[in-house]
Amino acid sequence: MSHLKEEKLLWQKGFSNIAGIDEAGRGPLAGPVTVAAVIMPINFRSTKIDDSKKLTAKQREYCFGLICEKALAFTIIHASVTTIEEINILNAVKRSMVQAVRKLTSVPDFVLIDGMNINVPGIPQKAIIGGDAISQSIAAASILAKVSRDLLMVDLDSKYPQYGFLEHKGYATEKHIAAIRRYGPCPVHRRTFLKKYGYFHSKLPDRTSQVTLEETLLSLGQ
């Protein structure tokens, strides 16, 4: 269960529209990165809402519905693979976070962000490392982002069933890496990620190179 310590301090200072922001899909080898921003009502509490990584798929789906029902406002932004390739993953996340805040139908008077600062002039903010585990607002955003991205990856699985996106959602599992080696990358693979970790070679790598590459790709997906 995420806590309301940060929110309570802000409520005491007079802030009422506190937006939580988080992302899902920063590390995978395929698919978009998804950002969500959400404003929950003052004093809203739920023992169900927590860091999305700590919840089962069924628990996340339940919380997704609860958050959508109770939220004062929320937005979900998907940054495409093209965007990730053009401006890099960090800039894609930051730009999507700014877009998510600006598209909220209720203007936040404070923003809590998981792990990074963003450029939103006129709105005070606080970046919290591991915020999805200690702030209910950020945890709610993490759930919206995770569930939305997972649904997109399910759709992509129907288009590219050979890669197993339904199972791993684009992360660097052994099955995923084997599929990339067998079929090559598809249009939704992040080629900059694969290049950075040595996937593309003019010649097939020897077994030593293959083992090193696979270990590196697997570590990226953790």
Residues marked as binding for a divalent metal cation? 22-23, 114
Residue numbers belonging to the annotated binding site = 22-23, 114
Closest residue by Cα to residue 2 from 42, 37, 54: 54
- Cα-Cα-Cα-Cα dihedral of 21, 63, 56, 96, to 10°? -20
Query: CA 35 to CA 25: how far, in whole Å?
Result: 9
The structure tokens listed for 74 are 């929320």
Residue 77 DSSP SS3: strand
Query: Nearest CA to 128 among 114, 144, 118, 117?
Result: 114
